[in-house]
Amino acid sequence: MRAVPEFPILPTVRYLLVQAGEDLCVLPLPRVRRIVRNLPVTPLPGTSPELKGLAEFGGEPLPVLDLARLVGAAPGAAPPHPLTVLSWAGAEGAGELVGLAVDAVIEVVELAAEAVVAAGDGIVQGEATLGERPVRVIALSALGGPPAGARAAAGRPG
Amino acid sequence: MATIDRPTTERVDAARVGAGVVLGLALAGLLLLLAANARGGPIWPFGLYLVVAMAGLALYLGLAHRDHRRRTAELADARAERRGIDAALLAVLDELRAGDLVASKARAKDLPPALQDAFTNAADAINGLAQQIQTSSIEVAAAANSVNQIASELASGSSEQAASVVEITAAMEELARTAAQIADNAGSQAELTARAEASGNAGSEAVDEAVQGVEEVKKRISGIATRADTLGTRSKEIYRVLDLITDIAQETHILSLNAAIEAAAAGDHGRRFSVVAEEVRRLAQRSQESVESVRNLLDEFTGSIRATVVATEEGSKEAARVLERARAAASAIDELRSASGDTARVAREISLATQQQNAASDEVVLTLKEVSQVVQRMADSLKQFSSTADQLNELGLAIQLVAQSFHLDSPHSLKREVGRWAGEVRRRLGSWEAIESLLHEVLGDSGYMELAYVIDAGGTQLAIAINPPVAGTDQIPAPLRTGEGLTDRPWYRGVMREGRTIITPVYESLLSGEPCFTVAAPIKEDAGRIVGVLGLDINVDSWTKI
Amino acid sequence: MSGERLLLLRRGGGLWGVAQAAVREVARRGRGYRVRLAGEHDLMADDVVGVVADVPVRPAGVVSRYWGEPAGGLAVHGATPLVVVDPERPPRFLRLPRSDETETSDGDDRPTDD
């Protein structure tokens, strides 16, 4: 009897597939804290368009960023259910919880590491193909402000 | 002069009667004597009576015979005288027969005074009558002329009038034809408008039915719209439910994702939970997909509902517009019916009026025809009148000529004047120039004579003169100029035969071609022998106009 | 950062905080307030909420990166997020020039640019 060949198990990373404008983006699932609907956001005067404003989650201030503007995606139609993906931004273990406003949250997907074509050091880490759809792989580590020390008490880095 | 008068005749008769009485008495005595003798009685009274009767008879006869002889002598004298009177009377009557009142009066001098006076009175009366007749005949001729002129003018006028009446009649007939045509057209128009009226009525009923139908449709559309609204309301409720379900599905989806996130954070311990989370996510997804399907169906349904609502709204609006138009049409039809009614009434009135006009035109035409007939009869009557006037004119001329047949002691008497001129000619016999000069003078003074001429007793023309203004020419025709055949002329022969002035009947003049007559007078020497004839041709028209 | 004592004020629809220690004076200014700080700048506010103590302030983080204004930190009061301003470098739209000393200004005050 022939032995069943062993195929190497390729390492995959789980991502959260979201719709940002007209682009599909994947957020590394370990960095995703929560998906929240209809999060009230208070705009801050004089900010850039990427910063939608401030919100509150779990008693903590939460900056909310527009993912579509962050990645430079063309704006889509107004989402029927605006969602905010609470994610850890910044360096691992030292990031801050930010809200990423997206048009839709689709599903959890797995991507092989080799499937990601690196795109640079910016917030768009690379691009991959999911099914026949191109997706942008977001590097939340590139997002965030100056390191601020301890995380908020409500969450832990993923 | 002894006369046999009526008393003489009566005496003779009385003598006869007397003799008869005496004789009768005698005879009676004789009979008595005989009777007495027969009776045997005394007869001597009766004899005495008889003797006396006989004596008386003898005496009476003797006296009667003597008277008779005397009377017979007187009768013979009277007869002789009468013969003389008769001769004179015949002479007077002869002159009178010839119409020569002048000569007859001269002859009357031979009549006994009483007879002379009586004849003179009669002649004067006849003279006066003849002159009156002459004068009246002149007036009659003039009047006849005027009447003729008037009749001619009237005839001319009536002819023109008749022509005008004919024109008017023709125009009226044309008018009548036009009126008849108008009447026909009006009648047709009346029928058309009546049909239009009927059509209007039918149209109005149809519109009313259409309006009712549209209102019914409108109600049904309204009902449909109400039900569509109800469906739309239900659809909205369903949408709300779908939204709720969608919301729930969305929440479930997020919940599942959050669960997957927590499961991932739990590491290996969360693996089974991540499976559940995934199932929940799929359930949420299916729910969402079902909701989407239902939403799509509901969208289609609501789309249909909206389309139905829109269609019903549009249908309702359209029905309202149709209703409005139908009502406008009904109003217009009502107006049209009213107008048609008015038009029909007017057309009927026009038809009636034109029929009346037609009848009136016919009556007028008939009347004009009657007038035309009357005018024509009047024209005919005027023609007759003119003819009568002509006859009157001729009669007047005839009366004038009859009046002129009398030789009157009047300047109007042609015979008198011609006789006078004949006397003048006699005094100029031997010089034809003098005679001709006299003839020209006579023609120039008259104004109505065409020609004057003198012929001797042998029929030779001694002189002739023409009056161009009356004769119409200054050329004497050859026969007249040469004097051929004059002795055969009736005026010559009449004069030579009668020895007095004569007037010929009217004839056509060789010169003027117009009616004329000749007055011819004998030219006598003192002894009464005719030595020539003076002839004057008188133009009737010129003569009657003087 | 441990809890701080903050003066909370409202301006432009948002809630702002400034360390009470940096506040010298709060005065009415027209329909709003002038908050005189220890530094060079004054702040203008539509409303002054009050002073709250022991407010945990976390670093501004991405807010500083995308706001363009220096921020002292972020905090929450009640359920309302707020930005804690740096009293030495308050945001421009909160600033009130010291030259504008009039207390009776009417109408909406608009942010001035330095």
Would you call A12 helix, strand, or coil by DSSP? strand
Q: DSSP code of B161?
A: H
Tens digit of pLDDT for each residue in B225-247?
888 888 888 888 988 888 888 88
Domain A12-153: which CATH number of 2.60.40.10, 2.40.50.180, 3.40.50.1370, 1.20.1050.10? 2.40.50.180
Q: DSSP code of A78?
A: P
Across A9-18, average pLDDT: 83
Q: Which of A65, A89, A145 sits opposite C64 (nearest CB)?
A: A145
CB contact under 8 A, A158 and B251: no
Question: Higher-confidence residue: B131 or C7?
Answer: C7
pLDDT confidence tier of residue A149, bands split at 50, 70 and 90: very low
pLDDT confidence tier of residue B6, bands split at 50, 70 and 90: low
Confirm or reject contact between A97 and chain B (CB < 8 A): no
In total, the C-beta contacts within 8 angstroms joining chain A to chain C are: 96
pLDDT confidence tier of residue A28, bands split at 50, 70 and 90: very high
Is residue B138 over pLDDT 80? no
Tens digit of pLDDT for each residue in B67-105?
888 888 999 998 998 898 889 889 988 888 888 888 888
Q: Which residue of A has its CA nearest to C16?
A: A44
Quick one: pLDDT at residue B377? 78
Identify the CATH number of the domain in which residue C43 sits.
Answer: 2.30.30.40
Is residue C110 over pLDDT 90? no
Confirm or reject contact between A29 and chain B (CB < 8 A): yes
- What string of DSSP letters covers B33-47? HHHHHHHTS--HHHH
Is residue B336 over pLDDT 80? no
Domain count, chain C: 1
pLDDT confidence tier of residue B451, bands split at 50, 70 and 90: very high
Quick one: pLDDT at residue C106? 45
The residue count of chain B comes to 546
Quick one: pLDDT at residue B274? 84
Query: Do the beta carbons of residue C1 and residue C61 sit within 8 Å?
Result: no
Q: How far is A46 from chain C (nearest CA, A)?
A: 7
Q: Which of B250, B260, B265 sits opposite A158 (nearest CB)?
A: B265
Q: Which of B250, B258, B281 sits opposite A107 (nearest CB)?
A: B281
pLDDT confidence tier of residue B15, bands split at 50, 70 and 90: low
Tens digit of pLDDT for each residue in A119-142?
777 888 899 998 888 999 999 888
CB contact under 8 A, B258 and A35: yes
In a domain, C110, yes or no: no
CB contact under 8 A, C111 and A89: no
A28-37, B159-168, B206-215, C58-67: range with highest mean pLDDT:
A28-37
User: Which residue of B253, B271, B288 is the best one to mutate when testing the A interface, meaning the one whose CB has the most A CBs within 10 A?
Assistant: B253
CB contact under 8 A, A146 and C67: no
Closest CA to B431 of B455, B463, B457: B463
Kindly report the backbone phi and psi dihedral angles of residue C48, in degrees, each rounded to the nearest multiple of 5, phi listed first.
-110, 120
Using a pLDDT cut of 70, give the percent of chain C over it. Answer: 84
Q: Which residue of C has its CA nearest to A46?
A: C67
Confirm or reject contact between C69 and chain A (CB < 8 A): yes
Q: Kindly report whether the global pTM for this prediction surpasses the value 0.90.
A: no
- CB contacts of A59 in chain C (<8 Å) are 76
Residue bearing tokens 């020419």 = B473
Would you call A27 helix, strand, or coil by DSSP? strand
Q: How far is A45 from chain C (nearest CA, A)?
A: 7
In a domain, C106, yes or no: no
Query: Any idea where the domains of chain A sit in the sequence?
Result: 12-153
Tens digit of pLDDT for each residue in B271-300?
888 888 888 888 888 888 888 888 888 888
Quick one: pLDDT at residue A56? 93
Quick one: pLDDT at residue A5? 59
Q: How far is C21 from chain A (nearest CA, A)?
A: 22
d(CA B484, CA B464): 13
CB contact under 8 A, B264 and A105: no
Q: Inspect the structure and tell me whether chains A and B have 3 or more CB pairs less than 8 Å apart.
A: yes
- CB contacts of B278 in chain A (<8 Å) are 108
Tens digit of pLDDT for each residue in B103-120?
888 888 888 898 889 888
Query: How many other β-carbons are positioned within 10 Å of the β-carbon of residue B46?
Result: 20
d(CA C93, CA C91): 6
Quick one: pLDDT at residue A9? 61
Q: Which residue of A has its CA nearest to B249?
A: A81
User: Which residue of B247, B257, B276 is the best one to mutate when testing the A interface, meaning the one whose CB has the most A CBs within 10 A?
Assistant: B257
Quick one: pLDDT at residue A8? 60
* ipTM exceeding 0.90, yes/no: no
Question: Higher-confidence residue: B40 or B82?
Answer: B82
- Give kind and range of the element (H or E) at residue A7: none
Q: A49-58, B25-34, B505-514 — which is least confidently predicted?
A: B25-34
Is residue B518 over pLDDT 90? yes
Q: Which residue of A has its CA nearest to B288?
A: A106
CB contact under 8 A, C58 and A44: no
Q: A28-42, B443-457, C99-113 — which is least confidently predicted?
A: C99-113
CB contact under 8 A, A98 and C62: yes
Is residue B379 over pLDDT 90? no
In total, the C-beta contacts within 8 angstroms joining chain A to chain B are: 38
Domain limits at C20?
Answer: 4-101
- The conformational region for residue B430 under phi > 0 = left, psi -120 to 50 = alpha, else beta, is left
